[in-house]
Structure 1
Amino acid sequence: MELKFPKIKRSVIISFLILSITLAFAAGCSNGNSNQDVVASVNGEDITKNELYELMVKQNGQQALDALISQKVIELEAKKQKIVVSDEDIQKEMETYYETYGGEEAFAQTLEMSGYSLDDVKKELALNIKINKLLEPRVKITEDELKTYFEENKAQFAQQKQVKASHILVETEEKANDIKKKLAEGQDFAQLAKENSTDAQNKDKGGDLGFFGSGDMVKEFEEAAFALKVGEVSAPVKTEFGYHIIKVSEVKAAQDASYEQSKSQIRETLFGEKAQAEYSVLMQELQKEYKIENYLEKKAEK
């Protein structure tokens, strides 16, 4: 169940998709008799690991190899420039992912469904951090550019009113009224959420949904939450998901856009835009500097 409208960024670890599968089979197919390991069969006719690997190389091999070559070049150049990625660097980026995906648990669930591991994520992050550190001296952003971007996009930096709320979701109005009664008797909201809420994503956090603004939640839920004062608990609220008991714990008032408060975010945005173009230039320069032999490409030419 997802009360919030989907705003999740799906760019995490995408480059590992073809790469990791191809490498796994490449490793498996490089060990003698393992070329004939059976991965499937149809009416007793075997499909071997070698057949699967050859098909994957034919379809995606060059793309995967190009990614590996670029990765190796980045690693060597980062080592040459003595660029080090600390655990703190990686954890800082992990916190951003947790926030984007609605918490550490939700991020872990997304990883599990995608077939990736936390180690895959951290390896990809370490590589991205090295790329950024290589690009930082090459990407120049002026004060005029920052101010121009702010003026042209001022609306997106204004803070709308936000509330921080928790909820307990149940299937029936009768159950919701029963919980409302228990709360009136002094029972703990978070504990009741853990014991009763059908919202598996948030129940173990005491039903905490964090801060949200207008348009982030389904209409009935949002209207009820924004009508509450801090500390107030709602009557049962019906939505397409069931019946909610909502408690508001904090309110952030709307604020006009502030250049100084937005400056670091603007710098990050402009860096991302410029870095994409500069990355291509950097890789062209580095690929001339490092001796690269692509045997897969040579094989295809024969």
Structure 2
Amino acid sequence: MLQDMRENSQGTIAKIIIGLLIVSLSIWGMDAIVGGFSGEPEVATVNGEDITEREFLRVVQMESQRRLSSMEQPDPAMLDEDQIRADVLDSLIQEQVLTQDASAQGLALSDADIDALITQMPQFQVDGQFNRDRFVASVRNLGMGVGEFREAMRKQYVVNQIRSGIMQSGLVADANASQLMRIQNQTRNFRVVQVPASAVADEVEVTDAEVEAFYQDNKDAFRQPEQVDAAYITLSLGALAEKIEIDQEELQAYYEQRSGDLAREERRASHILIEDGADAGQTMATIQERLEAGESFEELAKEFSIDTVSAKDGGDLGFAGRGVYDEAFEEALFALDQGQVSGPVKTGFGVHLIRLDDVRRSEVPAIEELEQQLRGELARERAQEKYAEVRAELADSAYAADDLAGPAEELGLEIREARGVTKDGGQAPFDHAGLVRQLFSEDVLESGYNTELIDVGDSVSVVARVREYREAQQLALEDVQDNIRANLEVRKIREILEERAEAIVAGLEAGESLDALGAGEWEQFEDQERNAAGVDAQIMQTVFSLARPNEEKASYGTAITRSGVAVIALDAVNEGDAEGGVDLDQLRSFMASLEGQREYAAYQQFLRDTAEVSRP
């Protein structure tokens, strides 16, 4: 049989088939050949078009990585995989609906358009020029092929065209913007009289029967959750670094190596800042033309710069080192020669022209002044490699050991103890959700294993085990009665205060005076804004929620404060200014943007509701 196979493989037909396979592999890859026979599985179909499983899994992976990177302490175990998959599928369906809509409207990008967009993207450039190697590497890091990336760009761009068109079409009536501005700028005149909690505290009495009744009615609130006492080992880069000794010769060599960085350079800059809007390019071109014509940078800063503080001084920003300015601003500033003016530089504040006015460099401090800092830096640098090595050893040793004594002795680490750790956590390092979840897992809690080695911080790792487990239990009344009594006292004081305040309001509305009501004296406030400083926030919230008073009678209300209760008399509402200006323009733009967002959301929902979607 083997001989027959060998002879057939040398035949003409076999050679043709192999040749076709080679050509297919070179052009489309293995997926094209396998897919040609089996078809690519789909996870959903939208109006007859498939969302493939490969695309779905790729986006799931990207979304998982995005959520991990947004965590303060990244922990894969914290990810809800089912929720991620559901969210990703919904987003892909929505994207497919929008893409189909764009296609139906005749919106499309040619291959040349895609090429132009890609070559202009700064993340694919080196020294301002498109770099194919960087482009390919970046796309592969996303888990995509070049063709997939180009298609994703094509879809996203045409969808963005529709989104931008709808969102920019949002309109708001000038009258509505002016009315909202008047309300926002409104001020109010009011009076306040305070009734402190101390004034009614003597009227409050909580009996033992009330305490016991509250305990019986709320027993679930007085249960001690299940707890564990845990032993643990901590491995940290800082602790390793403390054990590393740096001799004087090493310190001197490191000092000389760092001397260039230790001499701090500061640059004195001036700038002209304009808003980054539709007219920014023309405005900046005008400024540059006038500079070239010999006009003073200082005078142009006073005329054009929206940074009014520096504009008064001709745009002068003073001396500053690295790490002070926006990254783009800093990069441009430190690339200038003294007296040179940059081209337009865009930051989050707007568009700048930057002039370098002066450069000064400080002397390198003596080694004695920096000895402690440099020893620490060098020790941490040396500890980095050792940390990775010891971490791997601890992970293996703890996994195989029946306790923590062996790994601790082997690596010279200390065993510590934490008491009363619940499923909600405890003191560090058991404030890390991943470590706590492992501690209460079946393997650790019931089978007596060590936890895995968990990274709980930057170069800090912990392995733990349970020493003692305590089931959840009902706390005895005598253990919690003091807290119950204190809470009931606070509750009763508040009830009495509210009754007292309502009685005062009723008397005032009936025409009685504060003296007759025995309620103290009014404190007067005039022209107070919504965010007025020096007035309790709860009082201000009540003041601006009260109905307008009429000419003869104030509007009354009450507010619970930190110290008691306040009775409020609203005397007048002063209309706010709604004249045209920057604030009104910004408010109008903001309201129009919100309206555009609502319209686009409604448009998306309409497309989604009318689409035919099937999920296998």
TM bin, normalised by shorter chain, reads 0.3 to 0.5
In terms of fraction of residues, the more helix-rich structure is 1
Of structures 1 and 2, the larger Rg is shown by 2
TM-score by length of 1: 0.38
TM-score by length of 2: 0.22
Higher relative contact order (CA 8 A, sep 6+): 2
